[in-house]
């Protein structure tokens, strides 16, 4: 593709630390190296559907590397669920003379990007999710920061748990994949880690809690929001679904704390970390990974290598088909979960 293109970029789905680092890298290399114009679309896929734009210049990305969130804003809009959404999206791209689009997001955002590729829109994807559940990349940016935040919370909660001889249940994000729970639980020295991939026995959890109290220590239990008790169902905050068909999960931590208190007679409390895991300054690792993704994404655009997603394989950034990136979720292998059990109790 020739230099001097007009490139659109958007951030979709849940926000996470590192998004601004991608925007900065895309803009700086796009303008300084490839002589492109960079046009930001606000509020995820809602931007190109509604014509919500924001020019990205060298000045506008000068001080955003260490900022969490996204200067473009985000949403969980699915243009395929909006009346005339795709026609309106294409009309916006035509109106603003956008030659190609960079979509930064997780499975839902990149799923839309994959469909748009089939519908003739030139798109390159960048993987973003704190859940680290995209199968085509070893890591997604945002995950490292979320794990650091959750680990710091566990460290802080341990001191108050010991002071009051309480069991503390820490609920972290993770709808279908327990990567945050596993990594933060291991890093924080949790006594029990519960992930969506492995239904858990409440009785066994309570046995671990009792063993911990018998040793005169307070137990810490880390549970992913999508973790299931044996024979049980996901706990929902509401029955409403978003534009991608997802319900809001939440409450397993509080439910489990009540079960522990009732079965053991020990005081138990639940702490739900929720969106605090998404916010704040990205770690150095996430800043570097996000920057590398952005640099490679704008190169792919320039070369006309559309329908691809940039991905981390080992220490290299590679390009994979969007269909591969969205084919399946990357979940915690049960053998990796099992090998950590020696540390529980």
Residue 299 among the catalytic residues: no
54 annotated among ligand-binding-site residues: no
Q: How many CB atoms lie within 10 A of CB 315?
A: 7
148 annotated among ligand-binding-site residues: no
303 annotated among ligand-binding-site residues: no
251 annotated among ligand-binding-site residues: no
Contact at 8 Å (CB) between 268 and 257? yes
67 annotated among ligand-binding-site residues: no
DSSP annotation string for 26-83: HHHHHHHTT--EEEEESTTTHHHHHT-EEEE-TTTTTT-TT--S-TT------GGGST
Distance CA 25, CA 77 (A): 25
Short-list 109, 98, 125, 110, CA closest to 8: 98
225 annotated among ligand-binding-site residues: yes
156 annotated among ligand-binding-site residues: no
183 annotated among ligand-binding-site residues: no
Question: For residues 83-112, b (16+ Cβ closer than 10 Å) or e, as one string?
Answer: eebbebbbebbeeeebbbbbbbbbbbbbbb
166 annotated among ligand-binding-site residues: yes
Angle at 39 between CA 300 and CA 320, to 5 degrees: 25
CA separation, residue 232 to residues 11, 271, 291 (Å): 35, 21, 42
Exposed (0-12), middle (13-18) or buried (19+): which is 281, by Cβ within 10 Å? middle
197 annotated among ligand-binding-site residues: no
Distance CA 162, CA 218 (A): 5
180 annotated among ligand-binding-site residues: no
292 annotated among ligand-binding-site residues: no
Catalytic option among 15, 84, 94, 131: 131
Distance CA 9, CA 41 (A): 6
130 annotated among ligand-binding-site residues: yes
Distance CA 304, CA 324 (A): 19
CA separation, residue 289 to residues 136, 137, 253, 282, 339 (Å): 15, 12, 32, 11, 28
Q: Which residues are annotated as a binding site for diphosphate?
A: 14
Q: Which residues are annotated as a binding site?
A: 14, 107, 129-131, 166, 173-175, 225, 269, 275-278
Q: Which residues are annotated as a binding site for Mg(2+)?
A: 107
Give me the active site residues, please. Answer: 131
């Amino acid at each position: 593709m020739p230099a001097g293109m007009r490139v659109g970029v958007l951030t979709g789905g849940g926000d996470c630390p590192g998004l601004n680092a991608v925007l900065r890298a895309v803009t700086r290399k796009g303008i300084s190296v490839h002589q492109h114009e960079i046009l930001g679309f606000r509020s995820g896929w809602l931007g190109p559907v509604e014509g919500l734009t924001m020019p990205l210049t060298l000045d506008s990305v000068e001080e955003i590397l260490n900022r969490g969130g996204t200067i473009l804003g985000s949403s969980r809009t699915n243009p395929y669920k909006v009346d005339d959404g795709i026609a309106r999206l294409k009309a916006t791209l035509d109106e603003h003379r956008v030659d190609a689009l960079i979509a930064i997001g997780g499975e839902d955002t990149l799923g839309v990007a994959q469909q748009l590729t089939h519908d003739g829109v030139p798109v390159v994807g960048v993987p973003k999710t704190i859940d680290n559940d995209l199968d085509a990349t070893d890591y997604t940016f945002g995950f490292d920061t979320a794990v650091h935040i959750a680990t710091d919370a566990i460290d802080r909660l341990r001191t108050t748990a010991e002071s009051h001889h309480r069991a503390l249940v820490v609920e972290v994000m993770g709808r279908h994949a327990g990567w945050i729970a596993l990594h933060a639980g291991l890093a924080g020295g949790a006594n029990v880690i519960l992930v969506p991939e492995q239904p858990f026995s409440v009785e066994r959890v309570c046995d671990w809690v009792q063993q911990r109290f018998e040793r005169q220590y307070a137990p810490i239990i880390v549970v992913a929001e999508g973790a299931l008790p044996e024979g049980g169902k996901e706990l929902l905050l509401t029955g409403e679904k978003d534009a991608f068909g997802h319900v809001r999960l939440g409450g397993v931590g509080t439910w489990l704390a009540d079960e522990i208190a009732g079965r053991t007679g020990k005081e138990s409390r639940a702490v739900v970390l929720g969106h605090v895991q998404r916010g704040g300054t990205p770690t150095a690792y996430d800043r570097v990974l996000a920057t590398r993704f952005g640099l490679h994404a704008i190169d792919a655009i320039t070369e006309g290598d559309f329908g691809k997603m940039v991905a981390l394989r080992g220490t290299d950034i590679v390009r994979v088909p969007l269909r591969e990136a969205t084919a399946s979720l990357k979940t915690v292998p049960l053998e990796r979960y099992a090998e950590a059990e020696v540390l529980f109790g």
